[in-house]
Chains A and B, each alone.
Chain A
Amino acid sequence: MFLWTSTMLALAADGASGWGDLGELGTEAAPTPVHESRLYGYIDSYWEMVAPVPEAVEDGQTVHGDSSREFDIPNFNVMLQGSVHGRYRYFINLAAPGAGSATSDEGVGVRNAWVEVPLRGDALAVRAGKLYRRFGLYNEVLDAVPTFIGIEPPELFDKDHLMLTRTTNLMLFGSLPLSPSTRLHYAATTGNDESNGRSVPLGADAHVATHGFKAGTSFYWTGGYASPSRAVGEGSPRGGVANWMAEDEYVVYGGYAEGTPGSFTLQAEFWRADHDAVRDPDAVALLDDGTLNPRQAERFFDAGDPGRGPAPPEVRYAVQTAYVRAGYAVDIGQRASVTPYAQGDWYSNPETVANKDLGGDAEAGLADDGVFLKYTAGVVIRPVPQVALKVDGSAHQFLYNDAVEVFPEVRLSLSYLWQLEQ
C-alpha cells in the first residue's frame, strides 16, 4: 500500500514538471485572483401533518392522540465559501433551525466554520475548525436539502436519534486515482465530539467511486468513555450518548453504496453502533414520567418497578439502522426536472424512551421493542434548478401494545437557493 501510494504521488509530482517554476504561478502579471468567494444559502419552508399517534394504553386498549399540523422553516442557511489563491479554502455555514416558530425559534448557530490546506494536491489535505465528518453518503450533504431526494434525513442522522455527532474538528482527507475512471477517497477525523476530556475520538471513511457508482465504509470510535451532550430534560442528544448515561464507549460501523446510472439514483446504507455504557442512577430516575412501556420499565428499573430503584447501571446494547432510496430524474427542457422517489428505512434502538424532552425518540421510543419501519414516497419538482418543491408521504410501522400500528405523515417542502451575483 505504501509503495503504491508513493508511486502515485511520485507520478503526480512528475506531471508537474512541465509547469516551469511553480513558485511564479501566484506572482505573474496575470495571477489567480487572491480572493475568490461566494455568498449563498437557502430557505426551506415546510408543512407537515401527522395522523393520530398512539399515546397510552388504558384498560388494555390503545389510546391515540390528535392529529397534528406544523409549519416550520427547518433549514435556513447562510453560507460563505471561498479560497485564497485558489488553494487555501474556507467555509462558513450558519443555520437557524426551527426559524419558522413564533415561540420556540432558536438563535443562529454555527454549523461549520473551517479552513482547509492542501498538503499534496488531491491526494492529501487537512481541514480544521468545526466541520461535518465524512461518514456514509449523507452526513456532509445533509445541509444540501434542496438537492437530495427526500425531505427527511436517513435515520442515522435524524436529529431525534443521532448515532454519533455530525461535526468534529480535524479531518485529513484526499483521493487517489486507481485508474483513469476510478478514484479511491479516504478520510480520518478527530475532535472534541462527546469526549470526556481524556478520550480521543477517531473516525474514518473510505470509498471507491467509478462510473457513477460509489461504495464504501465508515467507522467511528469514541476512543474511550464519552459523556452525554445533554442532560435528561434538555431534549434529544447531539450525539450517540443517551442523556441518562454517566459514560459510554461506543463504535459505529457499516457500509454504503450509491449508483447513479443515467437518470437513476439508487442508495443503500447499513449502520450499527455497539455501546458499552454505564447509566447514571439519578438521571435514570427522571425517566419515570408515566410513559414507559413494560419493556422499558424492565430495562431501566429493578424488576420493572421505579419504586425499587434503577436496574444495574452497566449496559451493553446495539443501535442499528438501514435504508434504501431510489429516485429517477426526468429532465424537462434545459432547466426543469421532476424526480419521483421512494425510500424504506429501518431503525432499532432498545435503549430509548418515547419522551423527546427527556432525550428520547418519539419513533423508536414508542415501539414495544424499539424498532420501526418507515416507508416514504414523494416527488421533487424543480421548475428551475434553484427551486425545489418536495411533496412527500410516509408511514411509520411499529409494534405498540402488542399490535401493529401504522401512522401516516404528509409533508411539503419548498426551498429556494439564493446566491449573490458574482
Chain B
Amino acid sequence: MNTSSLSRNLGCLCSLAVLFLAMPARAGDVVMVLNARNPTQELAINELKAIYLGQTSFWHGVVPMKVFTRPAKSAATTSFLEEQLQISVQKLERTWTAKQLAGQGIAPTELAEASEVVAGVAANPGAIGFLTAEEAWGLEPNGVKYVQLD
C-alpha cells in the first residue's frame, strides 16, 4: 500500500468514525458508498432518487455514474429504497425494465455482499452503492468513502 492510498484509507476510516460517533446507529441506518475520488460531500434524498431511477447519469456533468443495488430482500434494500427513498422494489424494477427496453440505460448491477459493494465502488470512479451501518462498520473502506444521507 503506497503513502497516498494509506492516507486516503485513513481519511475514509476517520470519516466513518466521525459519521458513526456523530449519529447513533439505528436498525434502519444506511450509508452511501462513493469512490474516494468523488468530491461529493452530501447527497439529498431527491438526488438519490434521481440517480436510482436513472434520471441523471453523470456526476457533475462529467463522470458517468455506475449504480449498484442490493438483493430485493436484503436489510440494506429495505432500509435504503423503501424507508429512505420510499420506492418499492417493484417500482424500481419496472422503471429500469422500461428504460432498458427503450435503450435509455442499463439497470443497476445487483451485488449481494457488502464487500462486493465496496470493491465495486472502489474500482469505478463514478460508482455509487449503499450499505447498512452495520455492514459498513465491519468493512475497511479501501478506495471508497462513506456519505451520510442528508
What chain B residues lie within 8 Å of A36 (beta carbons)? 106
Taking chain A's interface residues, is the majority helix, strand, or loop, or is none over half, making it mixed? mixed
For residue B90, CB closer than 8 A to chain A, the reply is yes
Among the stretches B15-23, B24-32, B123-131, B133-141, the one at the interface with A is B123-131
With a cutoff of 8 Å between Cβ atoms, the chain B residues found around residue A382 in the complex are 90
* Bound form: Cα–Cα A376–B90 in Å: 25
B44 interface residue, CB < 8 Å from A? yes
Given known A38-B106, A120-B61, contact A180–B44 (CB-CB < 8 A): yes
Residues of B whose CB lies within 8 Å of any CB of A are: 37-39, 44, 46-47, 50, 55-64, 66, 72-73, 88-91, 93-94, 97-98, 100-107, 109, 122-126, 143
- Residue B90 contacts which of A91, A183, A334 (CB distance < 8 angstroms)? A334
The 7 closest A-B pairs by CB, nearest first: A18-B39, A121-B61, A12-B61, A15-B60, A144-B101, A91-B103, A121-B58
Chain A residues close to B by CB (< 8 Å): 9, 12-13, 15-20, 22, 25, 28, 30-33, 36, 38, 40, 42, 77, 79, 81-83, 85-87, 91, 93, 112, 114, 118, 120-123, 131-132, 140-141, 143-144, 146-148, 175, 180-181, 183, 209, 329, 331, 334-337, 382, 385-386, 417, 422
In this complex, what residue of A is CB-closest to B86?
A: A262
Dominant secondary structure of chain B at its interface with chain A? loop
* Contact A385–B97 (Cβ < 8 Å): yes
Q: How far is the CA of A276 from the CA of B94 in the complex (A)?
A: 41
19 extra interchain contacts, Cβ-Cβ under 8 A, other than A16-B59, A331-B88? A12-B60, A13-B62, A19-B38, A28-B125, A31-B124, A32-B64, A33-B124, A85-B64, A86-B124, A86-B126, A122-B57, A131-B103, A132-B103, A147-B98, A147-B101, A329-B90, A331-B90, A334-B73, A385-B94
CB distance A16 to B62 under 8 Å?
yes
Complex: how many Å from CA A422 to CA B69?
14
**Inter-subunit contact A32/B72 (CB<8 Å):** no
CB pair B100 A121 closer than 8 Å: no
Most chain B CB within 10 A, of A22, A25, A38, A335, is at: A25
